[in-house]
């Protein structure tokens, strides 16, 4: 069947969204102030689904040149606009639009995918050189700087990995690779010295072992919840007492699901993400041109890296950097972005190459 990969993508996305709704509801049952979270998540999922249907009918080739750069530029400006507000605890991540909080750094991931796909849409003879990196490097710098200043290290890491995935598709000269390596090292050093003390404490806690009552609290309790799930799940906290995590419905929703459904439920979620990513790569392989292929790979990279980082955080394999689990963690902007990404994949899949 020609559109089988698309059916897999849609099916996996629907299943993950349903799991997310159940997890958000369960995480907030013992907290009255969080009882309205899952209806809000459902509303965002419906809005995102409508947007995905619109995007699926669009011809992405119209965005190949200036369109992608204009969209990405607008999303960068929206991210910068978050600094106009007072913020919460010196954190500037949201735009407050008529009672709705929007996090523009989430759709910024798709903007970066479109922009980089546009930069590398034209084939060249032989490897690309240093001069070919000027525009992509400038776009990435303009993308990462406002996100790091918000500060949002997790989103910045995700954006950097998405960019690295886009670069991995290209052939570069030795000089270009050397420039990329120097830029990566310089960027890592800059990020380290510009982070807040609590962010550096989380990273050092991962490397050296943090105090379970302070810097290592989230990792320690998340890992305990995962272990308590055993094979088929443990007794849920909901209804008696809240989960012992400040972001049980958000960054650590995976720990709640793993606790209540055990290893079997954890394996199911990871299998759904794997199926979605592999199907997205198959869609990329059948794309009409380089631009659409790179858009499909970019969407796959967004889902893959977010799932890997979040699961690694929850299971103690990676430091806590504040990355949501796609379609499962509570967050309207994140859910909307993921569903628009599904719409982009549908647009590519509906117009495959004749070959």
How far, in Å, CA of 336 to CA of 152, rounded?
Answer: 19
2 pLDDT tier (thresholds 50, 70, 90): low
Angle at 137 between CA 195 and CA 251, to 5 degrees: 40
Q: Are 331 and 98 in contact (CB under 8 A)?
A: no
pLDDT tens across 329-345, in order? 998 899 999 999 999 99
Look at residue 62 in the predicted model and tell me its pLDDT.
86
Residue pLDDT, tens place only, 62-82: 888 788 999 999 999 999 999
The region of weakest confidence among 109-118, 192-201, 206-215, 284-293 is 206-215
Task: Indicate the helix (H) or strand (E) that contains 102.
Answer: strand 100-102
Sequential DSSP letters for 187-219: HHHHHHHHS-HHHHHHHHHHHH---TTTTTHHH
The Cα 335–Cα 315 span in angstroms is 23
**What are the residue boundaries of the structural domains of the chain, listed by start?**
4-349
Alpha-carbon distance of 192 to 346, in angstroms, equals 39
- Res. 89 pLDDT band, cuts 50 70 90: low
């Amino acid at each position: 069947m020609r559109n089988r990969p698309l059916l897999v993508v849609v099916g996996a996305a629907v299943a993950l969204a349903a799991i997310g709704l159940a997890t958000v509801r369960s995480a907030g049952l013992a907290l009255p102030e969080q009882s309205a979270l899952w209806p809000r998540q459902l509303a965002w999922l419906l809005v995102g689904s409508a947007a995905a249907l619109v995007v699926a009918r669009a011809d992405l080739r119209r965005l190949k040149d200036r369109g992608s750069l204009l969209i990405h530029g607008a999303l960068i400006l929206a991210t910068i606009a978050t600094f106009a507000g007072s913020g919460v605890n010196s954190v500037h991540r949201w735009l407050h639009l008529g009672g709705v909080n929007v996090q523009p750094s989430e759709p910024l991931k798709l903007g970066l995918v479109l922009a980089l796909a546009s930069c590398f849409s034209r084939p060249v003879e032989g490897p690309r050189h240093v001069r070919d990196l000027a525009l992509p490097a400038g776009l990435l710098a303009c993308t990462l700087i406002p996100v790091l200043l918000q500060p949002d290290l997790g989103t910045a890491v995700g954006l950097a990995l998405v960019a690295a995935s886009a670069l991995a598709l290209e052939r570069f000269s030795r000089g270009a690779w050397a420039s990329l390596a120097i830029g990566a090292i310089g960027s890592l050093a800059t990020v380290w010295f510009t982070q807040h003390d609590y962010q550096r404490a989380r990273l050092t806690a991962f490397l050296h072992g943090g105090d379970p009552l302070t810097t290592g609290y989230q990792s320690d309790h998340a890992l305990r919840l995962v272990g308590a799930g055993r094979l088929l799940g443990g007794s849920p906290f909901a209804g008696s007492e809240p989960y012992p995590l400040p972001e049980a419905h958000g960054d650590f929703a995976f720990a709640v699901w793993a606790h209540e459904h055990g290893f079997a439920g954890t394996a199911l979620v990871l299998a759904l993400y794997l199926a979605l990513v592999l199907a997205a790569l198959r869609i990329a392989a059948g794309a009409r041109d380089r631009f659409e292929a790179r858009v499909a790979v970019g969407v796959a990279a967004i889902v893959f890296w977010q799932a890997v980082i979040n699961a690694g955080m929850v299971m103690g394999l990676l430091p806590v950097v504040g990355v949501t689990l796609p379609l499962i963690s509570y967050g309207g902007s994140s859910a909307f972005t993921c569903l628009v990404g599904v719409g982009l994949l549908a647009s590519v899949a509906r117009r495959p190459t004749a070959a």
